[in-house]
């Protein structure tokens, strides 16, 4: 199993709108690509002393690296652009790819 993990720190002033949009629009759009089998969204509760905003980890499970690569080529650019258009400058994201052993 391959897990595509997106960790996102969101500024407090857009936090509620961002979370609602993620749950109602963005994550359903990602899942509608049929490249992923399941997802989890988790709020990170450990914080650095100087950290601001709210941080989340969203994990999408896929059956193979080929499905992940297909998602990256065919769907990710448009979905990420939509997020930037709506909330650009108000969040920072980094992505990691994990293998479930």
Could you tell me if 4 and 99 are in contact, meaning their C-beta atoms sit under 8 angstroms apart? no
Q: Is residue 54 part of a domain?
A: no
Tell me, what's the pLDDT at 88? 87
Q: Is residue 75 part of a domain?
A: yes
Q: Is residue 87 part of a domain?
A: yes
Tell me, what's the pLDDT at 101? 86
The tally of domains found in the chain comes to: 1
The pTM of the full predicted model, rounded to 2 decimals, is: 0.92
Residue 75's domain comprises 12-42+65-91
Tell me, what's the pLDDT at 10? 96
Q: Is residue 101 part of a domain?
A: no
Q: Is residue 70 pLDDT above 90, yes or no?
A: yes
The CA-atom distances, in angstroms, between 95 and each of 3, 49, 80 are 10, 23, 12
């Amino acid at each position: 199993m391959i897990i595509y993990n997106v960790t996102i720190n969101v500024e407090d002033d857009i936090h509620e709108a961002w979370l609602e949009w993620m749950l109602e629009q963005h994550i359903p759009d990602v899942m509608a690509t049929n490249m992923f089998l399941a997802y989890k969204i988790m709020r990170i509760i450990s914080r650095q002393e100087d950290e601001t905003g709210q941080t989340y980890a969203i994990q999408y499970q896929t059956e193979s690296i080929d499905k992940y690569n297909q998602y990256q080529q065919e769907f990710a650019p448009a979905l990420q652009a939509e997020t930037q258009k709506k909330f650009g400058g108000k969040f920072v994201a980094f992505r990691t790819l994990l293998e479930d052993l």
